[in-house]
Structure 1
Amino acid sequence: MTEETREAYLLGAERAVHLLATEEVARRWGEESVLPGMTVGGLAGHLARSVLQVEWFLDGETVGAEPVSPVRYYARLVGTSLPDSALNVGVRERSEETAAAGPAAVAEQTRAAWQRLAQRLGREPADRRVAVLHRPGEEMLLDGYLRTRCVELAVHLDDLALSVDAHCRTPDATLAIAVDVLFAAARDRHGDQAVLHALARRERDAGQALRVL
């Protein structure tokens, strides 16, 4: 599982590196993206952070807290569909902070981080923990965190490609992990009966049980 997860993550990260370096992204950097309230640059910054943050988290100090699972990482989130929720405001602020360096710098920073991670991840043990820096005191197993980054890569590769009319397909291995994590998070958040309705009886799916983000 460790090897497959890390390979899937690196494949998705490589695809992000290539998309961020395209002329289409640089040309439309200041334009509105397909996500309301977020520029193409902000969205690119958010995508880049799915590579940059892995290094930051690996370098953070862990304290031995019980690790959060990738399913709970998403299932507990609130306000995901509300543009002005504290969650989404924080995401936009961090994304724009990263984007402030400009398209060329963001692309280069992401490429360099991906190249380092391609070497570093192979040396990290299966029980390696990382600090979740935006949630002080919280930790995840490295492979669990990489599964959440597969979600972010899959979702935002699609968002950014649509925003700039670029052809970019998420690698199958990355996409499979993203779907597995989000489906499990939907079950955790809403329960199996609600998820069953969402899958087989959409007219009874009052709570949009398959919507996690």
Structure 2
Amino acid sequence: MTKEIRKAYLLGAERAVHLLATEEVARRWDKESVLPGMTVGGLAGHLARSVLQVEWFLDGKTAGTEPVSPVRYYARLVGTSLPGSALNVGVRARSEETAAVGPAAVAEQARAAWQRLAQRLDQEPADRRVAILHRPGEEMLLDGYLQTRCVELAVHLDDLVLSVGAHCQTPEATLAVAVDVLVAAARDRHGDQAVLHALARRERDTDQALRVL
């Protein structure tokens, strides 16, 4: 499982690196993206962080706390669909901070980090933990964190492609990991009956049970 997760992550990260370096992204950097209140540059910065943060978190200090699962990482989130929520305000702030150096620098930083990770992840043990630096005191197993990055890569590759009119698709392996995590998070948050309605009886899906982000 470790090899499959890491391969899926690196494939998605490679696709993101290629998209970030395109002229379409650079040309529309200061324009509005498909996400309300977020520029293309901010969205690109957010996508880039799914590569950059893995390296940052690997270099962080861990304390041996109980690791958070990728399912709980998403199932407990609140305010994901509200642009003004504390969660989304924080995401936009971190994304714009990353984007402030401009399109060429963001693309190069992401490319360099991806190249290093392609070597580094092959050397990390299956029980490797990482500290979640924007959630002080929390840790995840590396492979669990990479599963969350597959979610972010899959979702925001699609967002950025639609924002700039590029031709790019998320790798199937990355998509498969993302869907597995999000469906499991929906089950955790709403229960199986609600998820069944969302999948098979949409007229009874009063909770929008498959909406996780």
Cα deviation for residue 79 of structure 1 reads: 0.3
Give the AA of the match of 2:183: F
Q: CA RMSD in A?
A: 0.3
Structure 2 partner of 1:133: 133
Distance 1:70 1:203 in 2: 29
CA distance in 1, matches of 2:122, 2:199: 38
Normalising by structure 1, report the TM-score. 1.00
Which deviations, in whole Å up to 9, do the C-alpha atoms of 1:86-131 show, x marking residues without a partner? 0000000000000001000000000000000000000000000000
SS at match of 2:155: helix
Alpha-carbon deviation of 1:145? 0.2
Deviations 1:123-182 (A, max 9, x none): 000000000000111000000000000000000000000000001100000000000000
Q: Which runs of 4+ in 1 moved over 3 A?
A: none
Aligned to 2:204: 204
Is residue 10 of structure 2 the alignment partner of residue 10 of structure 1? yes
Q: 1:69 & 1:29 partners in 2: Cα distance?
A: 34
* 2:61 is equivalent to residue 61 of structure 1: yes
Whole-angstrom CA distance in 1 between matches of 2:103 and 2:10: 21
- Write the letter of the residue equivalent to 2:25: V
What's the CA shift string for 1:2-21, capped at 9, x where partnerless? Answer: 00000000000000000000
Looking at structure 2, the residues matched to 35 and 101 of structure 1 have their Cα atoms a distance apart, in angstroms, of 21
1-side partners of 2:106 and 2:85: how far apart?
A: 26
Match in the other structure for 2:106: 106
Give SS of 2:140's match: strand
TM-score (norm 2): 1.00
1:49 match: secondary structure: helix
- Structure 2: stretches of 5+ with no match in the other structure: none
Q: 1:44, CA displacement in angstroms?
A: 0.1
Deviation at 1:184, TM superposition (A): 0.2
| Structure 1 CA distance for aligned equivalents of residues 42 and 168 of structure 2 | 18
Specify the alignment match of 1:19 in structure 2. 19
Identity %: 89
Cα shift at 1:200: 1.0
Structure 1 residue 82: deviation in Å?
0.6
Report how many aligned residue pairs link the two structures. 213
Q: Residue in 1 aligned with 2:88?
A: 88
Partner of 2:147: 147
Paired residue type of 2:6: R
